[in-house]
Amino acid sequence: MITFLLSGFWHGASWNFVVWGALNGLAVLPAVLWARSPRLGPEDTAGGEGALPSLRALLRMLGTFAFACLTWVFFRARTLGDSAVVLSKVWAGPWTLSAVSAALSPSLWLLGLCGLLLASEWATRRQWHPLGWPSLPRPLRWLGYSLLLWASLGLAREQEGTFIYFQF
């Protein structure tokens, strides 16, 4: 908990960073305090050995992702008040099918790319490097790497943004 709180203080002298650190510390605290034996090692397969994760593993992964997204609101907001505004607007919605569809439609190809990357990472999660694709012939691997590079460049913003750690 102390490490995460110090990490929050290190990122900035603002309450939103302290809350970010505290939330992350609280998330890790149960695993540290009530660790089950034996602990998983680095060679253990994330999500289990099956072709698909169990429902429990899938819910834990989605929960971790949702929690990380929630805490990043505190990290990226300028103030704690801004964090509260963002979270209240997310909570309030509108959560209708048409609103969600309108929000996602410009990014369908991006969602597809994310799905493809997630599927690739899941399929190769037992390997030392998740995007190694050792079973594919070298030309196909390099084609895949090239496509990833071009997709990343295509996702780059056209305008300059400030580096996230510029103020430090």
Can you read off the two tokens belonging to residue 93? 């919605």
Question: Using CA atoms, how far apart are residues 12 and 7, in angstroms rounded to an integer?
Answer: 9
Question: Using CA atoms, how far apart are residues 87 and 95, in angstroms rounded to an integer?
Answer: 14
Does 11 qualify as catalytic in the annotation?
Answer: yes
**How far, rounded to the nearest angstrom, does the alpha carbon of residue 10 sit from its chain's CA centroid?**
21
| Backbone phi, psi, residue 133, to 5° | 45, 55
DSSP state of 105: G
- The catalytically annotated residue of 8, 11, 71, 77 is 11
Structural contact between residues 45 and 96, judged by C-beta atoms closer than 8 angstroms: no
Residues assigned a catalytic role: 11
